[in-house]
Amino acid sequence: MKKTLFNDLLKSIKEAREIADGTKRPSRRFTVTPVDIKVLRKKLKFSQAKFADIVGIPVATLRNWEQGRTNPEGPARVLMTAIKNNPRGVIKAINA
């Protein structure tokens, strides 16, 4: 590794530690607003069984999401966001 790259990496690590310790503010923040799955499903007028079938998950998983016991993560979160933003288009693409 080049010395300049190593020094940049070391600087980043020190900065991360300062942010974690609360002595420095992060330069930016990212927030992810979770999709309200139950509201989304009801807006689309799907039963739990039908919605779970469309998105390819067990009904139990959907119930857990709707009841707030768990939240969609990774690709499932992205899929729920896509459905929220363009429900008919995404569902049409899934069923194509």
Domain boundaries, the chain: 1-29, 37-94
| Residues 6+ away with beta carbon under 8 Å from 85 | none
Question: What's CA 36's distance to the chain center, in Å?
Answer: 12
Mean pLDDT over 47-69 rounds to 96
- In terms of residues, how long is the chain? 96
Is pLDDT at 96 greater than 70 in this prediction? no
pLDDT value at residue 1:
66
Return d(Cα 52, Cα 35) in angstroms, integer.
15
* pLDDT tens digits, 8-53: 999 999 999 999 999 999 888 888 788 999 999 999 999 999 999 9
Helix/strand/coil percent split, the chain, to 5: 65, 0, 35
Q: What is the CA angle 26-28-31, rounded to 5?
A: 115
pLDDT value at residue 3:
86
Query: Which CATH superfamily includes the segment(s) 37-94?
Result: lambda repressor-like DNA-binding domains (1.10.260.40)
Main-chain dihedrals φ then ψ at residue 65, nearest 5 degrees: -65, -45
